[in-house]
Every structure is written in structure tokens, then in C-alpha cells.
Amino acid sequence: MNSVTKKMKNQMIGGNHYLNTTIQPWDVVRSWTHPNASGFENYLYGNVLKYLQRYRRKGHPKQDLEKAKHYLMALIEELSNEHC
């Protein structure tokens, strides 16, 4: 991890809901993304993970779960276009 990333991890905009976690969503996305996935597919996947990770931390659990569902449905649709 470079120094810019370390610096960014200690700066939260709009709350500290990620500072109190063992691992931040972008670390999960970085380590779990699939090399054969498109950039858009990884974007959708990352947002699913982000909203699932924070749904009880930010004060709007149902809204965050709905957002995760929205991105998951978009990811399923994206994969459907590939005829998986």
C-alpha cells in the first residue's frame, strides 16, 4: 500500500462509519475482484460489498440494504448480458 492510500484511509468524508471496521470496503474490493471481470462489473460488485458492510453503521440500514440490492440486481443483469 502506498502512502497516498494510507493517508486516504485516515480521511473520511461524511462520517467515520468506515474507520471503526477491521477492513475497509476498498480493501475487500481490491483483494476480491476477479481479473477477468470488466471494470463496470467490478464497480457494481464493489458497491454491493460497500453497502452490505456499512448497513448497520451509518444509521440507515434498510436504505443501505436497498442500495446493495440495487447494485446486485444490476450486476446480475450485467452477467445475464454475457449469457453466463
Of 81, 12, 72, whose CA–CA distance to 47 is shortest? 72
Domain of residue 46 covers: 3-80
pTM for the model: 0.68
Q: Which SS3 state, helix, strand or coil, does residue 63 take?
A: helix
- For residue 47, give every residue at least 6 positions away whose Cβ sits within 8 Å of its Cβ, in sequence order, or none: 67, 68, 71
pLDDT of residue 18: 62
Residue of 10, 6, 36 lying closest to 45 (CA atoms): 36
Residue-wise pLDDT for 69-78, tens only, equals 999 999 999 9
Q: What is the C-alpha to C-alpha distance for residues 16 and 6, in angstroms, rounded to an integer?
A: 15
Q: How many domains does the chain have?
A: 1
Span 9-36, average pLDDT? 71
What is d(CA 9, CA 41) in angstroms, rounded to the nearest whole number?
Answer: 24
**What per-residue confidence (pLDDT) applies to 62?**
97
